[in-house]
Structure 1
C-alpha cells in the first residue's frame, strides 16, 4: 500500500510539472530518483520468465531503482537463480547431462548491440558474468566448453562443483530407465504447472531509467541431455535479442524449437513493425505451431517475454502453464501468460 501511495504521489507531481511547464514555469526538479521521474513513462521495468524469478526481479529492481543500468540489473538478477541450489535448471543445482556433468549456458546483450555468450561451460557459478566478460574483454561473441572455462579462470572466476547431492540423486534415478524426451505431454505439463516445477531457463530483459534496454539469459539446459547439447538460451537472436530503438525479448521452453524460428529476434522485429509485446510474442508461438503442425505442437512448450521502448511488457506461450514476473514502480506481480493451444 505504501508503494502504491508513493507511486500515486509521484504521478501527481509529474502531472503538476507538465502543467507548470506549459505555463512557462519550472517543472518538477530533476533531483527526484530516476525510478520516480520515469514511472508514468513505463520505465524502469524488468520482466523475466517464470514466477519463481520474482526474486531475481527484486535483485534487478534494486539496481534500476538506484538509477543503475539495465545490463547491471539483468546480470545481478540472473545471479539469483544461478546460485540457488533448489533451482534444478539454472546453474548450481541444475540437473546434469546423461553423463552426470552439469554444463551451463548464458548470454548477455546491451543497449549498443554488444553481446557475449558461453556454452557448455562447467564448474562456474555465474556463467552470465562470464558471458559479459566475453562481450567486454574479447573480440568474440561466443566461447564454448574448455575454451570458455579457460577464459573464465583467466578472468578470476573460481571452479566450483555445480552438482548438488539432490541433483546427483535425480540423475542416478534417471539412469534406471534413461528415458529422454524433451517433449512433454499435456498431462505432464498440467501437473508440473500445478506444482510450479516447470521453471527452466531464466530469460530477463529490462528497461532502465535512461531509456536503455538490455537482457540476459542463463540455464543448465534440459535435464539429462546429450553431452554437448546447447539450446536457444545462449544464442543471440534465439534465446535473447535486444534492439535499443525497439525493444527486447527472451524465451524459455524447448530450445530446439525456439532456435528454428530465431524466436527473440522475430519478436523484436514484430515490435518494430508496430505490434505490442504481447502480440509479437503470440506471433512467435504461432510460427512454432505452424512449423510443427498442431498434433506435434500439443506436446511441446515455448514461452516468450518482451518489453518495448515505451516500457510496455507482454508474454505468450504455445501451451498453458507459462507465467512471467514483472517488477516496476508499481511493485512486483506475476502474470499467467495467454497461450495459443
Structure 2
C-alpha cells in the first residue's frame, strides 16, 4: 500500500548554550537522555544507508532491547496490573507517520510503528489490533517483564501509591531526531510509559505532534517526561512551528516549556524537549534540572546537560 501523507505542513529563559550548527549537512542524530550506544548505532546506520529514518529506528532499538532500561521496551516497569505496555511513533521527512499504543509482548514497537506507516493506510494501531498486525508482519511475541521489574512492581503493590518520578534514573521516554546524508529530517519515540500507571493509560509517546513532529522545510522536535502535559500543548508540533516563525531550536524549546509553565499550575513533574533544524542547529530545554541529551555527529558522541527553567 502507499504510505499515508500526514500533517505535511501545517528573549526567553536561559542562554542558548546547546546551540550548534552543521553547515556541511553531515549526518547528525540526537536523543533524549544519556543514550550513547543508541545514538552511535543510529549514526552508524545513517552512514550505512544514508537515511535519517533508518537512523532513528536503529537508535531506538538499543534501549528497547536493554533489560536495564526500566522506562523503554524489554525490562520496562509494568502498569499497576503487571502488564508491560508499549507506545511508539515514527515520522519521516515527507510527513509520513506511524504509531502503536498499548502494545504488549513485542520488543521493538518502533519497528511496528514503522510498519504501520509503510504497510497500512493508517497512522495508529492500538492494543490487540496492534499486536495482531505485528504478528502478521513476522514480529515475535515474548514476555517483556523481567525479574527486576517484576520485583519493583511487587514492592510498589504494598502501598499501591501512584506518583510521578522526576528524571527517573536519569532516563525516561527515548526520543530521537536525525538528519540523513541528504539533509532530510526524521524522528522517533519509544516508551513503556509511566511506571505502575493505570491499565490502559497512554501518554504522548505515540502522538504525532506531541512526542515527535518533523517538517522537512523546518526541522523536527521530540519530547520526554510527563506526557499528559506534552499532549495538552502538542509540544513537538509547537516547537516546529516556532522554528518556522524564525526562532532558533533553543529558543523554540524554551518557548514550549514556558507554554506549560504559564498555563498549568506547576507540580512535581518534568518535561524536556529537543529540537533540530535543517541547518543542523539543535537546542534543548526542560522544566527542572536534570535533563540531559546525547548527540552523535562526525563519529563523535557527547552527552550534554540541558538548560532548565526551575531555579
After TM superposition, the score normalised by the length of structure 1 is: 0.83
Match of 2:186 among 210, 214, 222: 214
1:202 aligns with 2:174: yes
Specify the SS of the correspondent of 2:170. coil
Report the counterpart of residue 102 of structure 1 in structure 2: 84
Report the counterpart of residue 172 of structure 1 in structure 2: 154
Asked which structure has the greater RCO (Cα within 8 Å, sep 6+), the reply is 2
Q: Is the 8 A contact 1:39 1:329 kept in 2?
A: no
Unmatched segments (≥5 aa) in structure 1: 1-37
- Cα deviation, residue 292, structure 1: 1.2
After TM superposition, the score normalised by the length of structure 2 is: 0.91
1:129 aligns with 2:101: no
Report the counterpart of residue 44 of structure 1 in structure 2: 27
Report the counterpart of residue 24 of structure 1 in structure 2: none
The runs of at least 4 consecutive aligned structure 1 residues that moved more than 4 Å come to: none
Match of 1:270 among 242, 256, 259: 242
Report the counterpart of residue 307 of structure 1 in structure 2: 276
Instruction: Compare CA radii of gyration and give the structure with the larger one.
Output: 1
Specify the SS of the correspondent of 1:129. helix
- Cα deviation, residue 64, structure 1: 2.0
- Cα deviation, residue 326, structure 1: 0.6
1:80 aligns with 2:62: yes
1:230 aligns with 2:212: no
Match of 1:332 among 278, 301, 307: 301
- Cα deviation, residue 182, structure 1: 2.2
Q: What are the within-5 Å matches in structure 2 for residues 249-288 of structure 1?
A: 249-288=221-260
Report the counterpart of residue 161 of structure 1 in structure 2: 143
Report the counterpart of residue 57 of structure 1 in structure 2: 39
Q: Is the 8 A contact 2:22 2:281 kept in 1?
A: no
- 2-side partners of 1:170 and 1:146: how far apart? 26
Unmatched segments (≥5 aa) in structure 2: 1-20
